[in-house]
Structures are given as C-alpha cells and as structure tokens.
Amino acid sequence: MLPEIEKLLVLQDRDQKLRAVLTEIAALPGEKAARDREFKAADDRLEAARSRQKEIEVERNKLEVEVKAKQDQISRYKNQQLETRKNEEFSALRHEIEMAEKVIIELEDRELVLMEEAESLKPSLQAAQEAHAAEKKKVETHMASLVTRKENLDARQKELEAERPSFITGIDEDLLDRYNRLFKSKNGIALVTVEHGVCAGCNMQVTHQAILEVKAEKEIVGCPQCGRILYEPQ
Ligand SMILES: [Zn+2]
C-alpha cells in the first residue's frame, strides 16, 4: 500500500470519529427539546386531571354563597312576619319562606352530588399525581444524562482536534487539500476500496485503466465517477 494512502486512512478514521462526535453534539439541542416537550406533556396531563376537581370546587363555593343568600332572605322574611299585623301579609311571607327553603334543599342536593363526584375523582387524581411524579423523574434523569453526554462529547472533540495535527504531518499539502475537500463533500468518506472493479463509494464500475493504476500503487488514483481516492483492500 502507498504510504500516503496508509496515512490518509488513519487520518480518515480519526476524522470520521470527530465527525460522529460533532453530529452527536449537533443532535443534542433537538433531544433536549424533545425532553422539554415530555415535561410539558406530563404537566398538561396532571392539569387536565385537576381541572374537573377545580370546577367542582368553584361550583360548590357558588352554591354555598347562594344558600347563604337564601338563609339571609328567610331571616328577613321572619323579621317581617314579626312586625306585620296583617294575616294576608303573614301568609304571603310564609309562602316566600317555604319557597326559599325549597331552593335551599335543591342547592344542597346539588352540593351533595358534587361532593360525591369529587370523592370519586380522588383515586384517579392520585394516580395522575403519581404518574406525573414518575414521568418528571424519568425526564430529569434523561436531562442529567444529556448534560453528562455533552460534557463527554465536548472533551472528546477537543481531544480529537488537538491530536489531528500529528496525524497530518508528512502528508503532501495538495493531497491533504484534496482529501479534505473530498471528506467534506462526500459525507466523510474520502478514501474507498475498489473491489471486483467497483468503487465502494459510488458503487459504479471503475475503468480498467483506473483499476490498473490502483493495483500498480505508484500514484494516487481517483474514482472517475465520484472522485474519491481509491485503494486496494489488503
Ligand atoms: Zn466512486
């Protein structure tokens, strides 16, 4: 194998590792956003479970205010009964009192129904709270692992970048330039094997002439189709 090819293969292996690290780093914000959405969804589910309970509370408070108002009304009617001397007025007031008492009974019945519903909601709310706590914990663990992964990836990136100069020493400048351009434009694959006359990069048949040149191992040969640097598998 040509010594340049050997060096470039080592460099390519390193560069592919760095490329993988950078790709992973680039994907982290998306992963974090997904975790954030999970967090939000867990909150929403708990909120939905709580909303009926809140509605019931609001309605019960309203009913209690109404009951109080009716009770006050009854007290006023009773005072008026004490003050009146007219029989007609007295019975009219008694009728009003009976009506108000009937309304109070209806309001209290409605309140009872609501209390029963609130009671029946308790287990499902409890379950929703437990599920919420478990989900939050899971997401928090994921978040923490994302932070650790980011730290590890950053460290790996620095390491690979710091070591790169030592892997390019001795490689001809033009060849390195050619390699760099190929690596960038060909998805991180600048050097490929040619097997059974086919380029492993583009899967196209390579010309007979090119195959002979690769086999001769005298110069760097590019694939006539995709331009990648060809070498014979060892
Ligand atoms: Zn090719």
What CATH number is given to the structural domain containing 27?
A: 1.10.287
Given pLDDT bands bounded at 50, 70 and 90, which one contains residue 216?
very high
Ligand 1 centre distance from Cα of residue 6 (Å): 19
Name the DSSP class of 67.
Answer: H
Ligand 1 centre distance from Cα of residue 223 (Å): 5
- Cα 56 from Cα 152, distance rounded (Å): 51
* Identity at 227, one-letter amino acid code: G
Ligand 1 centre distance from Cα of residue 193 (Å): 9
Counting residues of the chain whose pLDDT is more than 70, the rounded percentage is 100
Domain boundary among the residues 116, 147, 167 is at: 167
pTM of the predicted structure, to 2 decimals: 0.72
Ligand 1 centre distance from Cα of residue 186 (Å): 10
Same domain, 132 and 195: no
Same domain, 139 and 214: no
Ligand 1 centre distance from Cα of residue 232 (Å): 13
Given pLDDT bands bounded at 50, 70 and 90, which one contains residue 153?
very high
Q: Per the structure, how many domains does the chain have? A: 2
User: Does the residue 2 lie in any domain?
Assistant: no
Mean pLDDT of 11-24: 97
- Cα 199 from Cα 60, distance rounded (Å): 78
* Identity at 160, one-letter amino acid code: L
Ligand 1 centre distance from Cα of residue 169 (Å): 27
Same domain, 98 and 78: yes
Residue 56 structural domain: 20-167
